[in-house]
Amino acid sequence: MCDLRLLKVHKVNIKDSPETMDRFKNRISTLQTTYKIYYQNSNAMQSVASNSVDLVVTSPPYPMIAMWDEMFIKQDPAIQKALDNGMGYDAFKRMHKTLDEIWNECYRILKNGAFACINIGDATRTVNGNFMLYPNHSRILQHLLEIGFTSLPAILWRKQTNAPNKFMGSGMLPAGAYVTLEHEYILIVRKGGKREFITAQEKHNRHASALFWEERNTWFSDVWMDLKGTTQKLRDDTVRIRSAAYPFELPFRLINMYSVKGDLVADPFFGIGTTMLAGMAAGRNTVGFEIEPEFSDAIHDRTRDIVNIAGQRTSDRLDRHIEFVNTRIENGRTFKHINENYNFPVVTNQEKKLLLNRLKAVSKIEKNTYEAVYSQTSQPKFSFAPETFTALQASSSRPQAKAKKKQLKKSSLAPVQLKLLG
């Protein structure tokens, strides 16, 4: 076993008394995370200990999508013969056999209670004149169940194709046309039962890693319609196309939904490292495996922009929350809870300790290894004086204030807005 020691967050060992909790509260945000990439086949992830990973977020090469044929054939030359002989289903089965080995490894490295989120699309293909759907998602899910994972409701990622030639088959004539595949899956499975958060430290960290209530409502929906494409331009765009990177938002959401700060996330199909970038933005460690060493320059390039990207995404989350608060107060609704780090209102008790640590810097500490450091305090721009909202809510619930607000709305003047102090 080698250097996963590096991937430990600087966790503190404390007793559960209130004083030590306070000390811990100040130190939990001194988050420091590590990222390690291995350029090797992930069917043997010997460098990762069994039961050591908190989450897998990944997207494999898609069987029966032509761009990945060569990669599968390298691992099992019989696939070429099957395709040449027009035996599409045989090729499909063989391609999945090579992936099965990697799902087995994922099971081994995951801790009990840990999730795996797998982005996969089905394929349609004509082999030997026979057009057919190759159901990758159900084939993978079946194997995951066979090896002991518990399946949970999946997410459909709706990807709209506007191309006029997207329809396949006999056009307007019945009984010969095929519906267009415009979605992919994010399969969600868990090893064992529910994850437990036992110590005060673990409980505190879980609360500090909470999502906003309004984010939960969108992110935990089973259809995602709003994922934008990859934002980053790479110097070598062919690398991006060859790697088939998913949008940053996909692993970013999943990581926030299924792990806590300081956790270790693994991606056995690393590509150009989108999972790692999302891990950097969210304060999670990452270990990745990629069979193509020539992606390393592109991966390194992307780490240069991540401080900005993470900063924008974090500000965006806080901006949206403040917008949500404004709208809710304008609509005459009140909040029962105030977040302790920002002093802004939140809907639930579970969001009171939420803190989005700002990513301060990412540095390469050795070959294929990076380290990230985070701010310990809430962003001044989004932090309010302690009593701001209590006063605002009290005033907005007084009858005169309500009447005034209505008037303001009617005359379409700007509504009462929360003043950012910072």
Ligand X SMILES: C[S@@+](CC[C@H](N)C(=O)[O-])C[C@H]1O[C@@H](n2cnc3c(N)ncnc32)[C@H](O)[C@@H]1O
| Cβ nearer to ligand X, comparing 271 with 345 | 271
Question: How big is the CA angle at 121 (ends 317 and 286), to the nearest 5 degrees?
Answer: 50
Q: Residue 253: which H helix or E strand, with range? A: helix 249-258
Query: Nearest approach, Cβ of 362 to ligand X (angstroms)?
Result: 17
Nearest distance from residue 59's CB to ligand X, in Å? Answer: 4
Output 58 or 396, the one with its CB closest to ligand X. 58
Residue 107 or 384 having the CB closest to ligand X: 107
Q: How many angstroms separate the Cα of 70 from the Cα of each of 61, 62, 289, 291?
A: 11, 12, 19, 13
Please, what is the minimum distance in Å from the beta carbon of residue 36 to ligand X? 14
CB of 271 to ligand X, least distance (A): 2
Nearer to ligand X, 69 or 202 (CB): 69
- The residue (of 302 and 321) whose beta carbon lies closer to ligand X is 302
Distances (CA, A) of 31 to 15, 159, 184, 261, 373: 19, 35, 34, 8, 6
Q: Are 30 and 89 in contact (CB under 8 A)?
A: no
Question: With contact defined as beta carbons under 8 Å apart, do 225 and 158 qualify?
Answer: yes
Nearest to ligand X of 40, 375 (CB atom)? 40
CA-closest candidate to residue 272, choices 309, 311, 233: 233
| Angle between the N-to-C axes of helices 296-330 and 274-282, in degrees from 0 to 180, rounded to the nearest 10 | 50
Nearest to 88 by CA among 64, 70, 72: 64
Beta-carbon contacts of 99 under 8 Å, excluding residues fewer than 6 positions away, are: 60, 63, 140, 143
The residue among 35 and 246 lying less far from ligand X, judged by its C-beta, is 246
CB 230 → ligand X: shortest distance, Å?
8
By beta carbon distance, the residue nearest ligand X is 271
Residues that bind ligand X (CB under 6 A): 41-43, 59-61, 71, 102, 243-246, 269, 271-274, 289-292
CB of 190 to ligand X, least distance (A): 21
Residue 28 or 280 having the CB closest to ligand X:
280
Q: Which of 271, 283 has the CB closer to ligand X?
A: 271
Smallest gap from Cβ 71 to ligand X, in A, equals: 5
Nearest one of 377, 393, 387 to 325, comparing CA atoms = 393
The DSSP line for 310-372 is: HHHHHHHHHHHHHHHHHHHHHTT---SEE-TTT--EESSGGGTT---PPEEEEEEEETTEEEE
Residue closer to ligand X by CB (options 266, 318) is 266
For 186, the enclosing helix (H) or strand (E) is strand 183-191
Closest distance of CB 4 from ligand X, Å: 18
Name, in order, each residue with C-beta under 8 angstroms of 50's C-beta and a sequence gap of 6 or more: 108, 109
3-state SS of the chain: helix, strand, coil percent to 5?
A: 40, 20, 40
Shortest CB 302 distance to ligand X, Å: 9
Nearer to ligand X, 88 or 271 (CB): 271
Count other C-beta atoms under 10 Å from residue 92's C-beta: 24
Q: What values do phi and psi take at 182, rounded to 5? A: -125, 20
**Closest distance of CB 92 from ligand X, Å:** 16
> In this structure, are residues 381 and 342 in contact, taking their beta carbons and an 8 Å threshold?
no
Q: How far is the CB of 303 from ligand X (least distance, A)?
A: 13
